[in-house]
Amino acid sequence: MQLERIKKVAAGVWVIAAVVLGLFVREVTWQMWVAFIALSVLPPLALLLWWTEPPQTMSETINDARRKTWPS
């Protein structure tokens, strides 16, 4: 659950920084706006979709199996 929160905070900070930067830029062509929007949206989207939890290690798998089979 910790990783999900980190991902959301990082994506939010990126988008807020991009919006603030966009508010101070003047005299921009539509091509520059398209590039700016792409750079504002694509990195956080990739972060949220492609950054995953690391896979469970062999020792974690064994410990989980031991906890399930051993009486409490």
**Interior CA angle at 2 toward 46 and 15, to 5°?**
40
User: Tell me, what's the pLDDT at 7?
Assistant: 92
As a whole number of angstroms, the distance between CA 51 and CA 4 comes to: 9
Residue 71 has pLDDT above 70, yes or no: no
User: Tell me, what's the pLDDT at 52?
Assistant: 86
User: Tell me, what's the pLDDT at 69?
Assistant: 77
Neighbours of 58 (CB within 10 A): 8
Q: DSSP readout, 3-71?
A: HHHHHHHHHHHHHHHHHHHHHH--S--HHHHHHHHHHHHHHHHHHHHH--PPPPPHHHHHHHHHHHHS-
Domain that holds residue 12: 2-69
**Per-residue model confidence as pLDDT tens digits over 24-34:** 888 878 898 89
User: Tell me, what's the pLDDT at 1?
Assistant: 62
Q: How many domains does the chain have?
A: 1
